[in-house]
Structure 1
């Protein structure tokens, strides 16, 4: 008999095996929403445009954000971990989401192959803590990296760019240099509070920290209510 997938107020989810103690998985298994303030903010500020969501994990953000997009708008989701990506694909199916483009790549400032750690030294899956590393080895797999400047069609207007890429934010942002200049989206960056780097890299756009949502820093070119 098939097991009923866990759910919360936004939808149903395929959760990865062996990761029940991870915060996002634990929340969904309990029928709760992980990072509810972040999802609510993204839903409220999509403003008719597309949303980019990188570090999709098993897709816990997908139903809530996708449901709030305007007609014709799209959620562009990126997840490099093959196991997490497979769960996110199933989450899309469980919720019949048709306005989401999910891609099994990491983000960087060049199109390259990355060494990506998916398991720890004991072989346990890292799930959402998977990250880019310097060298191959046990628990490390090769994944493709894409640049947002090429991954997102140039005729799309992006309202929000949200990154949860475990320390790879600077390279991912550099790969979105032209997109950010064209669209000036709200930036939601996990644990990346280097405002001076953002201002130097995207000089003249006026980005500044507007506040925090859970562990995320929110940058915008105009004042926002968080």
Structure 2
């Protein structure tokens, strides 16, 4: 039996959980104390889409997914998981015992391309150890943990669903999952947040088909079902907010339903997203409708819509004479997809000099300067961005931090 923890013993319709009291200090998981399940829609989608095989789930946190996943695979499969934070690992071990789960394989590894070691923060600079402090490179108290790859952990299993919730460390985990992803039996990948670099490097040929609980669902086939349709609807509404922020409008009339069927999704793509994509392909001009389409494409791509196509299209028009909004759209996406920061900077810095009142290109130029190690130039560019948008709190915070760190 795992060692004792100062914790709450919580219950929901799936099982029983060990929740360390320190993890409730910021209120995020206090609902579990009252029997409110975490990330309910995500669990429902996994149950709906499971077609046999094993499920890989990391990080385990307190094992809040374990009872639902265990019920999903039943006696036909296993749950393979890992949790490197000692307190979370102990809590997850308690959850397994409390819920009487026999088909969960829990390890203490952090995920990377191969075996090794990694430092992760377990407390913030104020000594708090709530769940979100466990990040690679975060300020605070750190510990060294062993690493291994998803492929090694899963070599004896038949993974059909891969679910990663790693507080931003997904990119390193995916480097060690190439064989797992290449297996045709792996049909569903779930990633917390839409991470452009992960999609670009590891999920080419996969389609982002929905969002639930801030998790994004990628598939290589058409999925159908009540809950995945609800996730499609969530993604559609995020797209609609982008469209509403642009002066140009599409012809798509949103349905009154809270979900979006596969057929409705195709209509949405045909009537709203594809026309914007075609306008960019035809040649982006420095006039309002086309430039707005470029901004829309950039934002759509960050939610999984035609990322590679958009990058290739905008790259054709990325030059020293490019409109600053086009340069910003392409270079932002390219940087997020491991683009060459110096090459991007060579063009963006000149465009920013010619358009000193364009806040976004100045902001991006500042980020690129910082990426290549020229912190003085990063501060100067950020100063220009702040002058172009003096009311922006985020711009001011970034400028102040640059000055504090490097000024």
Report if TM-score (shorter chain) is over 0.5.
yes
> Relative to structure 2, which stretch is displaced further, 4-13 or 139-148?
4-13
Q: CA deviation at 1:138?
A: 4.7
Written as runs of structure 1 = structure 2, the 5 A alignment for 1:74-223 is 74-133=78-137, 138-154=140-156, 156-182=157-183, 183-194=185-196, 197-198=198-199, 200-203=201-204, 206-223=205-222
Query: Would you say the 8 A contact 2:24–2:30 is kept in 1?
Result: yes
Contact 1:48 1:70 in 2 (8 A): no
Tell me the alpha carbon deviations over residues 24-54 of structure 1, each in whole angstroms, 9 at most, x when there is no partner. 6312101111110011111222211111110
Deviation above 6 Å: which 4+ runs of structure 1?
Answer: none
Q: Which residue of 2 aligns with 1:8?
A: 12
The verdict on how the C-alpha distance between 1:212 and 1:37 changes in structure 2, with shifts beyond 3 A counting, is same
SS of residue in 2 equivalent to 1:131: coil
Aligned residues: 218
What is the alpha-carbon distance in structure 2 between the residues aligned to residue 200 and residue 4 of structure 1?
Answer: 40
> Is the alpha carbon distance of 1:48 and 1:128 closer, same or farther for their aligned partners in structure 2, counting shifts above 3 Å?
farther
Distance in 2 (CA, whole Å) between partners of 1:22 and 1:218 is 28
Tell me the TM-score normalized by structure 2.
Answer: 0.51
Q: When you count strand as a share of all residues, which structure comes out higher?
A: 1
Q: Cα 1:12–1:128, aligned 2, differ >3 Å: closer, same or farther?
A: farther
Secondary structure of the equivalent of 1:5? strand
Could you tell me whether the CA contact under 8 Å between 1:57 and 1:128 is conserved in 2? no
TM-score (norm 1): 0.89
Q: Secondary structure at the match of 1:143?
A: strand
1:65 aligns with 2:66: no
- Superposed counterparts of 1:18-57, under 5 Å: 18-22=22-26, 25-57=29-61
Secondary structure (helix, strand or coil) at the match of 2:16 reads coil
Q: CA RMSD in A?
A: 2.0
In the TM superposition, what is the alpha-carbon distance from 1:221 to its structure 2 partner? 0.3
Confirm or deny: 8 A CA contact 2:31 2:37 kept in the other structure. yes
Q: Which has the higher contact order (CA 8 A, sep 6+)?
A: 1
Distance 1:159 1:139, change over 3 A: same
Asked if structure 1 preserves the Cα contact closer than 8 Å seen for 2:22 and 2:130, the reply is: no
TM superposition shift of 1:199 = 5.1
Determine the C-alpha separation between the residues in 1 that align with 2:79 and 2:198. 27
Q: Is the 8 A contact 2:8 2:18 kept in 1?
A: no
Give me the whole-angstrom Cα distance separating, in 1, the residues matched to 2:202 and 2:36. 37
Which one is further off, 93-102 or 25-34? Answer: 25-34
> Structure 2 unaligned runs (5+)?
1-6, 229-407
Partner-residue secondary structure (3-state), 1:178: helix
Q: Distance in 1 between matches of 2:96 and 2:66?
A: 7
1:173 match: secondary structure: helix
Distance 1:118 1:49 in 2: 33
| Structure holding more helix per residue | 2
Deviation, structure 1 residue 111: 1.4
Preserved contact between residue 45 and residue 159 of structure 1 (Cα < 8 Å): no
Cα deviation for residue 16 of structure 1 reads 1.0
- Larger-gyration structure (1/2): 2
Q: Contact between 1:58 and 1:91, CA under 8 Å: does it hold in 2? A: yes
Deviation, 1:4, is 7.7
Contact 1:181-1:202 at 8 Å conserved across structures? no
